[in-house]
Amino acid sequence: MDNLKTIITFTLPQDAYLAKGYLESEGVETFILDELTAQVYNFYSNAIGGVKLQVNEEDYENGLRILQKGGYINSDEKKEENKIEIVHLDKSVDKKICPFCKSDNIGKKKEPNLFTVILLIFKILFPIFKRSYICYDCNKAWKFKK
């Protein structure tokens, strides 16, 4: 038991038990660490680093592949964040069409800016949002700039 390695962490113990059952059904021996602390003190889970699911070092790579196949771990390709790109606005740009894939399946994405958060803290309701657009076909986000 000296050569255990944490393969994944969870906030809730029940989530760790689901992954434990999945790994053990594939023949990987697992151990759960800090589950009792997270059960007794629910809000301490993030402070202690979550509930840790551990495997033997020799089963680590196999366990990672199994968890990726089961959807517990996202691969790096799927983890790509939507970065908002800047599209320069001129007369030839149509705001109703995605500038990247030319699809018309787009929507407005509204995110509060710092000024909105400050106003909400002082109980003043004044909706100021940063406006950006998102394409549901190519999954890109952009803002228009003059």
Give the CA distances from residue 30 to residues 45, 53, 97, 132, 134, in Å, rounded to whole numbers and listed in that order. 20, 7, 50, 45, 41
CB distance 48 to 38 below 8 Å: yes
In angstroms, the CA 145 to CA 140 distance is: 16
Which pLDDT value is given to residue 51? 93
Burial 58-88 (b: 16+ CB within 10 A, else e): ebbeebeebbeeeebbeeeeeeeeeebeebe
- Regions in the chain scoring below 50 on pLDDT: 77-80
Which letter does DSSP use for residue 27 in this model?
T
CB distance 86 to 143 below 8 Å: yes
Domains of the chain as residue ranges with CATH: 4-70 (3.30.70), 84-145 (no CATH)
